[in-house]
Amino acid sequence: MVVNRLHQWRKLLPQVPLALLLLIEALLLGYPLVTELPRTLPGNFWHAESAILAEFNWFMLPRLLLVSGLVLMAIGLLLRARAAWFFALMLVLLVTPLLWRSGLVQHGTLAFSWALLVLLVLFRDSFQGSSVVAGALVTLLIVSALLCYAMVGSLSLGADFIPPILNPMTALYFSLVTMTTVGYGDITPHTDAARLFTLSIIILGITVFAAALSTLVGPMLNSSMQRIIKGKGRKMKRSGHFLIVGASPLAHNLYESLSQRGLKVTVLLSPESAQQHSLPDDADIVVGETSDTSVLKEAGAELARSVLALGGDDADNAFVVLAMKDLASDVRTVVLLNDNRHLEKIKRCQPDVLIAPQLLGSEILARLLNGETMDKDTITDLLLQGNPAKLSD
C-alpha cells in the first residue's frame, strides 16, 4: 500500500503542478477580459455594421486565443504530451509582448510568466509522450488561431470583397468556406490585397487540416498496426521468463546475452524510453509505468524467474524492487546502482542482488595502485552485493 501511494504521488510530478501554474497564467490574462468585453462589444455584435464594429478592439482576439490555448495545453501537460509542452512554451513566450503591446504590463504577471517559462524548460525531459487527446487539443488550438486570423483579415479588408464583409457573421462564413476550400463564390475578392489574403487562408487551411489528419489518425493507425504485426497484448501469458525493467546499456546487453542462450526474456519500458529503444522488432516489450503493480502483472512479474531493475534512474529501480515486495516477495530481484550516493537507500529496499559497477571499478583501481592482488571471488563480491548464489537456484 505504501509503495502504491508513493508511486501515485510520484506520477503526479511534474505535470500536475505545471498544469495548475498554466491555468493560473490563463486566469491572470483572462481576468481583464471579463471586465473589458461587456463594455467593448456592441450589443448586436454578430450583425454589427462596420461603423459600430470599428469601436471593437480586435486586439482582444489574440488575448482570448492565448487564454484558450493555455487552458487547452494545461490539459495536454497532464498527459505528458511533448506537443502540449512545446505549444505551452510558445504561448508563455507570447505573454510578455502581448501584455506590453496591450498596455497591461504588470510586474507580478510578468515575473510569474518568466518563472513558469523557466520551469517548463527545466522539466522538458518529463514530457516525451504522444497522445491522440493531446494531438486533438493542439489541432483545436491551431484551427482556432487560423480562424481568428481569417476573421480579422476578412473584416479588415471587408470593402475589398463583393459583396463587402461588414460583420463577424459574414466573416465567419467566408473564413470557414475558404479554409475548407469549398468556395461557393458568393463572396469574391476584387483587389490584389484581398486575393493574396484569400490565397493565404486556402494554403494555411489545407496545411492545418492535413496536419490534423496526420496528428489524429496517425497514432491510431500506428497503434493498430503494431498490435496486428506483433500479435501481442494484455492477454499474452508470460511465465518462467526473465523480466528486465529499464533501457540502460546493461539492460540491452543482458537482453542480447539471455536471448542468445535461448532463454525467455520480457522487457518492461517506460513510455519515454519506449520511443528510443534499440531492441529487436520481435522483442517481447511491455510499455507502462515501470513501478506500477498492474503493469508488472501484465509483464508477468509474479511468474518470472527473476526481475531485474536495470534502469538509468536509481529511484525508479528502487520503486520496482519495493513494488515486487508487495506483488511477489518470493521472486528474485536484482537492482542496478547508478550513483554510489544512493547505495544505502537501495540497500534498504533489500534486493536479492545489487549490481554496483562503479564500486567495482574504483576498488579494483585502488587495489592495483596499492599493489594488492585480486581474485575471482573478490571481484564477484564487489560487483554483486547480496546473495548472487540465489540467482542460480
HSE (side-chain half, CA atoms, 13 Å) at 151? 21
> Which residue shows C-alpha cell 490584389?
192
The helix/strand/coil state of 377 is helix
196 or 237, higher pLDDT: 196
Strand 284-287 and strand 353-355: pairing? Answer: unpaired
pLDDT tens across 140-186, in order? Answer: 777 887 888 888 888 888 889 999 988 888 888 999 899 888 878 88
pLDDT surpasses 80 at 41: no
Q: What is the SS3 assignment for 336?
A: strand
DSSP-derived secondary structure for 234-252:
TT----S-EEEES-SHHHH
Cβ(301)–Cβ(291) under 8 Å? no
pLDDT digits (tens, 9 = 90+) for 323-337: 888 888 889 898 888
**391, pLDDT greater than 70:** no
Residues 6+ apart with CB under 8 A from 308: 242, 243, 244, 245, 251, 254, 333, 334, 335, 336
Whether 220 shows a pLDDT value over 70: the answer reads no
How many other β-carbons are positioned within 10 Å of the β-carbon of residue 312? 15
Please name which of 294, 232, 293 lies closest in space to residue 266, comparing C-alpha atoms.
Answer: 232
Query: Bigger pLDDT: 386 or 231?
Result: 386
Q: Cell 496528428, residue?
A: 215
Residue spans of beta strands (DSSP E) within 112-177: 161-162
- Report the predicted TM-score, pTM, of the whole model to 2 decimal places: 0.48
Of 240, 246, 284, the C-alpha closest to 266 is 284
d(CA 184, CA 60): 30
pLDDT average, residue stretch 264-276 = 85
pLDDT of residue 360: 64
DSSP state string for 202-237: HHHHHHHHHHHHHHHHHHHHHHHHHHHHH---TT--
Residue 231 has pLDDT above 70, yes or no: no
Answer whether residue 213 shows pLDDT above 70: no
Q: What's the rounded mean pLDDT across residues 201-221?
A: 71
- pLDDT score at 306: 92
The cell numbers describing 83, all together, are 506537443
Main-chain dihedrals φ then ψ at residue 119, nearest 5 degrees: -65, -40
Distance CA 246, CA 274 (A): 9
Computed over its alpha carbons, how large is the radius of gyration of the chain? 29
Q: C-alpha grid cell for residue 343?
A: 547505495
Dist CA 84 CA 124 (whole Å): 11
CB count, 10 Å around CB of 355? 22
Q: Identify the residue whose cell numbers are 528486465.
A: 244
47-61, 165-179, 277-291, range with the lowest pLDDT? 47-61
**What digits encode the pLDDT tens for the residues 98-151?**
666 555 556 677 788 888 888 888 888 777 666 666 667 777 777 887 888 888
For the ranges 131-135, 222-226, 261-265, the maximum mean pLDDT occurs at: 261-265
Task: List CB contacts of 113: < 8 A, sequence separation 6 or more.
Answer: 25, 92, 95, 96
pLDDT the model gives residue 304: 92
Q: What whole-number distance in Å separates Cα of residue 302 and Cα of residue 243?
A: 10
| DSSP H or E segment with residue 363 | helix 357-369
Residue 365 corresponds to which cell in the numbers above?
Answer: 583501481
pLDDT at residue number 244: 94
What are 181's three cell numbers?
Answer: 476550400
pLDDT (0 to 100) of residue 52:
43
Give the three-state DSSP class for 269: strand
